[in-house]
Amino acid sequence: TIVLNNPRRRNALSLPMLQSLRRDLLHDVKSRELRVIVIAAKGPVFCSGHDLKELSSEDDVKHHSQVFELCAEVMTLIQKLPVPVIAKVNGLATAAGCQLVASCDIAVASEKSQFATPGVNIGLFCSTPAVALGRSLPRKVALEMLFTGEPLSAHEALMHGLVSKVVPEDKLEEETMKISQKICESSKSVLALGKATFYRQISQDLDTAYKITTKVMVDNLTLRDGQEGIEAFVQKRKPVWSH
């Protein structure tokens, strides 16, 4: 579990916070014991997005570029990791904070959570958050969020596909752990192959997507755990994964 832990700054994605988040996402990433990553946060705000003090005219263009480039790197890293990443959201997620939720593989939110891209209201359109948002939400829903800055409730976010589940606040930990434990029952190598393939094929046309995934299904059968799973099913026993 990685916890965003700067509630006094509304867990803003400052340059140091982004550097720390990248470092923690990559920590022990090749370890066989690492099976799932949960991103959570302290305080009433999950993440308020970029630290606007870093984006003032006092800082130069080079610094601004560094902030946005690192943020993009972290968001794409999440989808390149070999294990599923779950956002555990209990509060407000805005701008790049909303982008972070949209970039995770799974998102579980409490009923009090809200999601917004309000950059337009301060003259800084949420163009980079729009990349993740536009790939998670129907276009017209994403554009309404981007054009108005108005928040989605947790249940609206669920209805439109920004989050996977919405639960009462007191059930958030339990539900997140339930999903995590279910993931841990599967083979890490099979999940890693499946996750990489999902993101590779999702942006392709239908014929190309099927060509990619047809080959990967064959590759999956060459994995030790691929054969173990089939043998265990035929023999009516639990598989013993090698990962």
Domain ranges across the chain: 2-184, 187-235
Residue 146 has a pLDDT of 98
Residue type present at position 69: E
Beta bridge partner(s), residue 114? 92, 153
Residue 201 has a pLDDT of 97
Radius of gyration of the chain (CA): 19
The phi, psi pair for 163, rounded to 5°, reads: -125, 160
Three-state SS across 36-60? CEEEEECCCEEECCCCHHHHCCCCC
Rounded to an integer, what distance in angstroms lies between the CA atom of residue 205 and that of residue 96?
29
Measured between alpha carbons, how far is residue 199 from residues 20, 30, 50, 64, 123 in Å? Answer: 25, 20, 26, 28, 32
Question: Which residues of the chain fall short of a pLDDT of 50?
Answer: none
Q: Tell me how many degrees the CA angle 157-169-39 measures, rounded to the nearest 5.
A: 70
**pTM for this structure?**
0.96
Confirm if 49 and 13 have CB atoms less than 8 A apart. yes
DSSP state at residue 42:
S
Task: Give me the CATH code for the 2-184 domain, please.
Answer: 3.90.226.10
Rounded to an integer, what distance in angstroms lies between the CA atom of residue 206 and that of residue 168?
38
Three-state secondary-structure class, residue 106: strand
Confirm if 150 and 144 have CB atoms less than 8 A apart. yes
Residue 132 has a pLDDT of 98
Q: Does domain 187-235 have CATH number 1.10.12.10?
A: yes
